[in-house]
Amino acid sequence: MPTTGTGDETALPLSDITVVDLTQVIAGPFASMQLGDLGATVIKLEAVGRGDRSRSLQPSPAYFDSINRNKRSVAVDLKSEEGQEVAQTLLADADVFIESTKPGRAESYGLGYETVSALNPELVYCSISGFGRDSPYEEMPAWDMLVQGMSGIMSITGTEDGPPLWSGLPVGDLIAGSYAVQSVLAALYARENGEIDGEWVEVPMFDAAISWLTARAGHSFGTDEPFPRLGTRHPSIAPFGVFECADDSIVVPAGTDSLWNGFCRALEAPELLADERFETLDDRVANREALLAEVEPIFDSRPAAEWLERLRDEGVPAGPINDTRSVWDDEHVEHRQLRQSMPRENRQDAEVVDSPVHFSELTTTLEVPPQRLGGSTDDVLSEYGYDDDEIERLRNDDIVE
Amino acid sequence: MPTTGTGDETALPLSDITVVDLTQVIAGPFASMQLGDLGATVIKLEAVGRGDRSRSLQPSPAYFDSINRNKRSVAVDLKSEEGQEVAQTLLADADVFIESTKPGRAESYGLGYETVSALNPELVYCSISGFGRDSPYEEMPAWDMLVQGMSGIMSITGTEDGPPLWSGLPVGDLIAGSYAVQSVLAALYARENGEIDGEWVEVPMFDAAISWLTARAGHSFGTDEPFPRLGTRHPSIAPFGVFECADDSIVVPAGTDSLWNGFCRALEAPELLADERFETLDDRVANREALLAEVEPIFDSRPAAEWLERLRDEGVPAGPINDTRSVWDDEHVEHRQLRQSMPRENRQDAEVVDSPVHFSELTTTLEVPPQRLGGSTDDVLSEYGYDDDEIERLRNDDIVE
């Protein structure tokens, strides 16, 4: 099986790419982290004295660490002219700029698209915004939960008799970050094969979230009805969902006839298999309540672990409902080493979740642990031609940190 | 602003790429659709007589249509030797193969990695699976809802006093599809710049979902506690969330001091701004219940539309809770034309959601409307060297449809 983090840098897909990153909190940092996982050198620009707003979000620094490995932190005051010159120096030599500043902010820093593409016509400039330019909401800052509400995502999360709820994942942010990666990679490919020189791409969080409605949108296009909130009930499959065992709940999606067979065998309930009320999938959905009345007491008679084993032995998918702590003890998660510790000098190790992508010839990497604010300021400035005296002076003038 | 679908094919990032797609339902089709949006020619292989399982999911064909534009449908019986030869002929000339078959299934079709890469060493072969090879769950079929349960996503969705719920979006599927696009693009880039010949990449749904826990995982890494289910409550910000107006609910994320100022102005409640219980963000969180007791009656006194206007006028982000039908009437969504109709010959238009990515030099496209099963069988076979008689014979033998 392909592995990650072998350290063979020649096999990193983006080993020749440098990304300058002016984003914070979740959407942008999630994107630049993934470009870093793919081998890009990511230079994260942060405000002097404060840094990425998520550095102070609790628990600190675990919140920040979870989406900021594989980045070199450079703290620079972009309100100052000299700070802007630092950023422009980096951008003149970069392949990608990814930014999520408020409308007009990048321009006020001397980092607007026109300015920067004049310095570096081959740059891929990616703007993550709430609603994008040319929107009635252009000036409105987007928050994940606002996007979840406005996009329809909240409306389909929750129970039928309860109010709309937020998805537990900050999907408004993460979807946008994911499209930012997609669009940057597509532009780098097009640049590499000569189709374009440089590119400016915009990823609005709102539009991104809406595009994920997919089949939920299809439901409304086809029926002219809103997609309902279903809690843990499947509209057209039974038995399917959460079952309470003697000690804990499990998820069992027995979505086909052959799985229904295995389900009945696992429950040692051949009478259900013979019951004409449950013969076809449509029958089982039509008689869902009767079906549940039969199986619920059976599940209640044994502990979850035993049901998982019995169901899986019969080829029926079944799993526990893990929480964000118990998931790391899952057998597969441990075997795949999805949770990784990245050692840091004079600091606690950073705990991170590895990339889920398993290449064969290529690899992903976990190279640079999440850094303190300005952890690479000196190194980066020195690599870009600033001598020690200049760096010292910029630091004394609070231009960099 | 950049536009989509201009029809200038030279500006499509993947205009030189051909993808053979052997996936169904959501995860894989979502991935191949996005590669098609970026300009790739996607040939979708489907079972004779049945096709993608989602063709029969209700509402039909709206469900299928929502994730299958920009693909040419070729119906072929992969259990037959001649059908396998058709697939191999296409793959010998393709850039990308994306498949989400059960473990061992592709091999039994003569489409395993070893076989196909021998035919075409430059192929990017992408396998979307539930748990991947070398997993204790390797044999277990994955379903979106199983992945949501096992990954921790369910555990953080719902209310504090209610059970874990599914996220309304099929995130288990969509996240995997999204990583499939990312890994294919990264491999195409590496192939284009000479770093690799071909590639085999594996995207397990379970691992993909876990990687999206990001800051939710960070919470558990930092506190050794599970991230809670919060319904629509923010753990460390107030006022923030859902407010019930006279006629409807809205979302208001007033997450900073300056937004708190605007919030009080919009509510015409200067007394709140002066109230020492609500002075700092920490104060407002500590006295959340008292704060809500003050503002709830105020929201209840006017309709949602009026509050949205007042809040936005004061620079406070605020939005309605749209459902999957009302979202298409949103001013921004209409202006951006995110919902598009794709005309089809002798059939109802297909309704689709456009790509959210806005390029400047490049473009995305909506070119091929979702097709009937086998809608491009003849054309594709003919382009790949099959003559009319052969196609006729294959059809008579139920090898193709």
Q: What is the pLDDT of residues A48-84, one digit of tens each?
A: 999 999 999 999 999 999 999 999 999 999 999 999 9
For chain B, the residue count is: 401
Q: Which two tokens stand for residue B211?
A: 């990687």
- pLDDT mean over B70-81: 98
- A10 pLDDT higher than 80: no
| Inter-chain CB proximity A333 and B210 less than 8 Å | yes
| Inter-chain CB proximity A186 and B152 less than 8 Å | no
How far is the alpha carbon of A387 from chain B, nearest alpha carbon, in Å?
A: 34
Q: Which two tokens stand for residue A283?
A: 């029958």
Burial of A104 (0-12, 13-18, 19+ CB in 10 A): exposed
Q: What is the pLDDT of residues A17-52, one digit of tens each?
A: 999 999 999 999 999 999 999 999 999 999 999 999
Contacts of B135 in chain A (CB under 8 A): 332, 335-336
- pLDDT mean over B155-177: 96
- A3 pLDDT higher than 70: no
For chain A, the residue count is: 401
Pairwise CA distance, residues B190 & A15, whole Å: 9
Contacts of B189 in chain A (CB under 8 A): 13-14, 185, 188-189, 192
Residue B173 annotated among the catalytic residues of the structure? yes
Contacts of B65 in chain A (CB under 8 A): 218, 221
How far is the alpha carbon of B392 from chain A, nearest alpha carbon, in Å?
A: 34
- Is residue A4 within 8 Å of residue A365, measured between CB atoms? yes
- Is residue B139 within 8 Å of residue B103, measured between CB atoms? yes
Select which of A37, A173, A207, A354 is catalytic: A173
Strands (E), B47-205: 72-75, 96-99, 124-129, 199-204
Residue B183 confidence (pLDDT):
98
Amino acid at B179: Y
- B5 pLDDT higher than 80: no
Neighbours of B384 (CB within 10 A): 14
* Residue-range domains of chain B with CATH: 9-214+334-396 (3.40.50.10540), 240-320 (3.30.1540.10)
Task: Say what percent of chain B tops pLDDT 70.
Answer: 98
Which of A200, A207, A354 comes nearest B336 by C-beta? A207
Task: Locate all alpha helices (DSSP H) within B267-350, ordered by sequence.
Answer: 270-274, 281-286, 288-299, 304-313, 331-335
Q: Which two tokens stand for residue A144?
A: 């994940």
- B138 pLDDT higher than 60: yes
pLDDT confidence band for A340 (50 / 70 / 90): very high
Q: What residue of B is the nearest CA neighbor of A318?
A: B146
- B333 pLDDT higher than 90: yes
pLDDT confidence band for B157 (50 / 70 / 90): very high
pLDDT confidence band for B255 (50 / 70 / 90): confident
pLDDT confidence band for A234 (50 / 70 / 90): confident
CA R_g for chain B: 25
- Is residue B73 within 8 Å of residue B371, measured between CB atoms? yes
Q: What is the pLDDT of residues B270-316, one digit of tens each?
A: 999 999 999 999 999 999 999 999 999 999 999 999 999 999 999 99
Residue B10 confidence (pLDDT):
63
Q: What residue of A is the nearest CA neighbor of B224?
A: A325
Q: Which of A244-258, A366-380, B321-335 has the lowest mean pLDDT?
A: A244-258
Residue B234 confidence (pLDDT):
85
- Residue A175 contacts by C-beta under 8 Å, 6 or more apart in sequence? A205, A208, A209, A211, A212, B178
- pLDDT mean over B379-385: 98
Residue A387 confidence (pLDDT):
97
Pairwise CA distance, residues A109 & B300, whole Å: 42
Residue A103 confidence (pLDDT):
86
Q: What is the pLDDT of residues A213-231, one digit of tens each?
A: 999 999 999 999 999 999 9
Q: What residue of A is the nearest CA neighbor of B330?
A: A150
Q: What residue of B is the nearest CA neighbor of A223?
A: B59
| Inter-chain CB proximity B185 and A190 less than 8 Å | no
- B200 pLDDT higher than 80: yes
The single residue listed with the structure tokens 């086809």 is: A222
DSSP, res A140 = S
How many residue contacts between A and B have a Cβ separation below 8 Å?
A: 497
- pLDDT mean over A265-278: 96
User: Strand, coil or helix: what is B291?
Assistant: helix
- A8 pLDDT higher than 80: no
| Inter-chain CB proximity A207 and B356 less than 8 Å | yes
- B9 pLDDT higher than 80: no
Contacts of B240 in chain A (CB under 8 A): 145
Q: Which two tokens stand for residue A383?
A: 């690599």
pLDDT confidence band for A139 (50 / 70 / 90): confident
Task: Round the average pLDDT of chain A to a whole number and report it.
Answer: 95
Residue B2 confidence (pLDDT):
44
Best of A102, A144, A211, A352 to disrupt the B interface by mutation (most B CBs within 10 Å)?
A211
Residue B6 confidence (pLDDT):
44
Beta bridge partners of A125: A97, A200
Q: Which two tokens stand for residue B368?
A: 């091929």
